[in-house]
Amino acid sequence: MSYLIKPQHYKPILDLKQTELGIKQIKEFFQMNISSELRLRRVTAPLFVLKGMGINDDLNGIERPVSFPIKDMDDRQAEVVHSLAKWKRMTLADYAIESGYGIYTDMNAIRPDEETGNLHSLYVDQWDWERVIAPEDRNVAFLKEVVNRIYAAMIRTEYMVYEMYPQIKPCLPGKLYFIHSEELLQLYPDMDPKGREDAITKKYGAVFIVGIGCKLSNGRKHDGRAPDYDDYTSEGMNGLPGLNGDILVWDNVLQRAMELSSMGIRVNKEALLKQLKEEGEEKRLELYFHKRLMDDTLPLSIGGGIGQSRLCMYYLRKAHIGEIQASIWPDDMRNECQRLNIPLI
């Protein structure tokens, strides 16, 4: 069986009809708020892109995209997106978006190599967003400002859920706690990255871990990042590398940290060259996306993704992401969830 957290004596607070209505209200309310906070306009996004263009998100570099041949293009291969991290930046250029403004879209992806469980599904739905920034915005202070705006929208959404369903009490702290992944390592040196995330998030309720993808003092990364979108090597928080990070909240149902958003200031030419060299991926410079970046035809930007199903799962106090979205689960997981009173869609 894939990894399944089994909360004791779990009973859903909402029935199926209440859950579906809650999902609808959360998605409508949150995207309206995030659009206002970050000055984003909605755009239409692709479900798949052409292979070999460097547009698809490589995630940790090992996940296989779903691909298929296009009959009308001599069987040229297309790939279902992992996310739209690079596509969004090209769209900012193509739409001639001004500095201080940006775009967001509904991103739907299929990740067949995902290890399914309470928080992970083969189907991924998130709000992907990207905003044009000025050169002077490429610093950790600006990153924190944007993160706090996103968190403010999260707090307002939680209160909206409470007004709709008073039995669901708000629990997000008023402020988000910021810590660098290296500082987190020093604080909990005997734990693995997930253990460190659980420990710090349980303590503060909601945290933003800066510097995802950079090598730490133990020679390892806190977590992987593709080298060609987030800037994880430029100087950031407290002189440590990284202008990116993750928002995590403490989930009382599962008694663990839940990542809701991954985001960061994107690479400029210097950071791209440095990070590709570190990963031995200089060959990517021949791809369409990378050529555009090196030719100065893409704007400087900040962007990220916010998990839609996870956000709903957190607000509605669900034990499994399969209570929010329809997906495919192993038979033994479905049977065990049924036994545990976790109704998968």
- pLDDT (tens digit per residue) in 237-273: 999 999 999 999 999 999 999 999 999 999 999 999 9
Q: Is residue 8 part of a domain?
A: no
**In the numeric block, which tokens belong to residue 217?**
């003092």
Q: Is 35 noted as a catalytic residue in this protein?
A: no
Which residue range forms the structural domain that includes residue 205? Answer: 16-339
What average pLDDT score do residues 210-220 get? 97
Confidence at 105, pLDDT banded by 50, 70, 90: very high
Q: Is 113 noted as a catalytic residue in this protein?
A: no
Q: Is residue 263 part of a domain?
A: yes
Model confidence at 63: pLDDT above 80: no
Q: Is 167 noted as a catalytic residue in this protein?
A: no
Confidence at 83, pLDDT banded by 50, 70, 90: confident
| 246, 251, 261, 275: the active-site residue | 246
pLDDT at 62: 67
| 259, 279, 281, 336: the active-site residue | 259
Q: Is residue 3 part of a domain?
A: no
Q: Is 114 noted as a catalytic residue in this protein?
A: no
| CATH number reported for the structural domain that contains residue 214 in this entry | 3.30.930.10
Model confidence at 1: pLDDT above 60: no
Q: Is residue 10 part of a domain?
A: no
Long-range contacts made by residues 74-78, C-beta under 8 angstroms, separation at least 24? 76/50, 76/51, 77/50, 77/51, 77/52, 78/48, 78/49, 78/50, 78/51
Model confidence at 198: pLDDT above 70: yes
Give the DSSP letter of residue 136. Answer: G
| 126, 261, 325, 327: the active-site residue | 126
Q: Is residue 76 part of a domain?
A: yes
**Number of domains within the chain:** 1
Q: Is 259 noted as a catalytic residue in this protein?
A: yes
Q: Is 8 noted as a catalytic residue in this protein?
A: no
Model confidence at 311: pLDDT above 90: yes
